[in-house]
Structure 1
Amino acid sequence: MCLASEEKELGRQQASGACPYCGGNVEALDVESKRMFCFIPICFIVKRKYICTLCAKRLVLNS
């Protein structure tokens, strides 16, 4: 099988709040994910991920 996935960073922006682990600033990162089967694109997904700029941990929002 020739399954592949690529992630490309679309942009970064400052998010409100602080990291609960180290107190650093939080950035919102927009990522485009592309999944391919035998070099044919199957789906495109745009996600927003939150990361700490100081400790580089990925943060999850609980609402």
Structure 2
Amino acid sequence: MRLVCLCAKEETELGRQQAPGSCPYCGGKVQMIDVEGKWMFCFIPLCFNIKRKYLCSSCDRRLVLYHQKI
């Protein structure tokens, strides 16, 4: 007998806004994207989380912010 584990992650976009600043690679505009992630196990939702991603509108690179402590 085999036990099959069906796990999946679904992401849906909640909203998009223009972020302050510019892309360090091409100088294009930066967009903030709010994304809701949902982990599913055998079609049963296990976990919900909301993340904010940053994306350049010109070169389509995903940007990562680093915070420095002063």
Give the TM interval when normalised to the shorter protein. over 0.9
Letter in structure 2 aligned against 1:23? G
Q: Identify the residue that residue 18 of structure 1 maps to in structure 2.
A: 22
- When the two chains are superposed, the root-mean-square deviation of aligned CA atoms in Å is 0.4
Deviation at 1:29, TM superposition (A): 0.2
Instruction: Give the structure-2-normalised TM-score.
Output: 0.89
Q: Identify the residue that residue 39 of structure 1 maps to in structure 2.
A: 43
Q: Identify the residue that residue 4 of structure 1 maps to in structure 2.
A: 8
Structure 1, unaligned stretches of length 5 or more? none
- Normalized per residue, the structure richer in strand is 1
Q: Identify the residue that residue 58 of structure 1 maps to in structure 2.
A: 62
Structure 2, unaligned stretches of length 5 or more? none
Higher relative contact order (CA 8 A, sep 6+): 1
